[in-house]
Amino acid sequence: MSQPLRVALAGLGTVGAGTVALLAAHGALLERRCGRRLLVTDVSARSRGRDRGVDLTGFTWHDDPVAMARRAEVDVIVELIGGADGVAKAVCEAGLAAGRHVVTANKALLAKHGTALARSAEAAGLTLAFEASVAGGIPIVKALREGLAANELSRVYGILNGTCNYILTTMRESGREFADVLAEAQRLGFAEADPAFDIDGIDAAHKLAVLASVAFGVEVDLDGVHIEGIGRVSAHDIRFADELGYRIKLLGIARRTAHGIEQRVHPCMVKLGTPIAHVDGVFNAVVAEGDFVGSTVFQGRGAGAKPTASAVVSDLIDIARGRRTPTFSVAAVDLAPMRRSPMARHVGAYYLRLMVIDRPGVFGAVAVALGEAGVSIESVLQRGRDPNEVVPVVMITHDTEEQAMLAALERIAALDAVVEPPTVIRIETL
């Protein structure tokens, strides 16, 4: 057998403790598969005394994770601290500068600094690995970078945030409103005390920016991602979607267009017949479309100690075996600048819900506002009448450019019979 692969672990939270537990449980199996042991020798975390449910005896403890990355006699630094800057970034940079491979689960760091870190790693002949940064236990990075490497990919999309998927699923199943379901998700531990990172779409945007780089061989471009969260999706919208044959999902979508690469995160209406419509609860799913392979679907647990640790250790296995691939599909020095497709040029159909005073002439005024902007109506749905009271009216448009839809919404919002800002959800053809 070869010498062990020596590992230093920075961060002993849920994923860090899960990684230690996995290596302890499967040590012999992994040694057979790699031809060498995967051996954690050094660790660093904020608190020594906390009970993490794993045995840390025998590890060298470091109070300063950056100093550990510089000085520990190891082959790999595993960064599981989190955050786009600060200590997490310093740990990765220090590890690479000291000649260590780096494994990270940090999507925020990669979305902001992934291109620069990849160039540093590859220039030094080192690996920067990040399977755990996107979709937890789903091996989507390796699938895009290696399994689908023979294809030109045209689109990658998916459910990338389990918290949002859980909330939308529960709203549909219970008929309750967003705020009520969010509070329950927080009580159950499916949502953070401050849930903005998840429900505002930021977490999904970080993951999408990483996937787009891997899929299309371009620089990571978080600033080019259009981001909307799920906070304005109501029980009305969930019910109308069901009646119309759709499910509402927060999707991250990256695709090639004639204008460049489109990157967007927002609630979508997806047809019930599509596989992703039936991915519920905290599960994630990613779909990749290639010119030779067609459409491929990956589904599984997108977070949690065990699934994410599985992804972390898969990267350690690659390093132990000496397997090297470019960080983002092509050599980092050859990553193309992102040519952004403006969101205003997006073309698709739209779901439009208006809360209006039920009186004669309202629909005509809305139709005129849409027509003046060049938006045509495919269908209209209204349930019940309540003269001079507020009622919901739902419209489905034909395909139109986003800029035309925005112009129509400005006109509609100015109508005195429209009592709330219009709710718009893009209808996605998958």
Which residues, in sequence order, are CB contacts of 329 under 8 Å at separation 6+? 144, 145, 149, 213, 214, 215, 217
For the entire predicted model, the pTM comes to 0.94
Indicate the fold that domain 5-139+311-327 takes in CATH: Rossmann fold (3.40.50)
Question: In this structure, what is the dihedral angle of CA atoms 246, 250, 251, 252, given to the nearest 10 degrees?
Answer: 160
Q: Is there a contact between 285 and 158 (Cβ–Cβ < 8 Å)?
A: yes
Q: At what angle do helices 14-25 and 305-321 cross, to 10 degrees?
A: 60
Pairing of strands 400-401, 347-357: antiparallel
Q: End-to-end CA distance of the chain: give it in Å, rounded.
A: 49
Short-list 181, 228, 222, CA closest to 201: 228
Catalytic annotation present for 207: yes
Short-list 136, 103, 100, 162, CA closest to 14: 136
Q: Is there a contact between 162 and 282 (Cβ–Cβ < 8 Å)?
A: yes
Indicate the fold that domain 346-427 takes in CATH: Alpha-Beta Plaits (3.30.70)
The residue type found at 393 is: V
Strands (E), 183-245: 226-227
- Digitized pLDDT (tens) for each residue of the chain, 430 residues in all: 589 999 999 999 999 999 999 999 999 999 999 999 999 999 999 888 787 888 888 899 999 999 999 999 999 999 999 999 999 999 999 999 999 999 999 999 999 999 999 999 999 999 999 999 999 899 999 999 999 999 999 999 999 999 999 999 999 999 999 999 999 999 988 888 899 999 999 999 999 999 999 999 999 999 999 999 999 999 999 999 999 999 999 999 999 999 999 999 999 999 999 999 999 999 999 999 999 999 999 999 988 899 999 999 999 999 999 999 999 999 999 999 999 999 999 999 999 999 999 888 888 899 999 999 999 999 998 876 777 788 899 999 999 999 999 999 999 999 999 999 999 999 999 9
Short-list 82, 86, 137, 71, CA closest to 106: 82
Same fold, 5-139+311-327 and 140-301: no
CA distances 418 to 232, 275, 352, 365, 402, Å, are 16, 36, 12, 10, 21
CATH, domain range 140-301: 3.30.360.10
Counting Cβ atoms within 10 Å, is residue 115 exposed (0-12), middle (13-18) or buried (19+)?
buried
Q: Which of 107, 112, 207, 249 is catalytic?
A: 207
Domain boundaries, the chain: 5-139+311-327, 140-301, 346-427
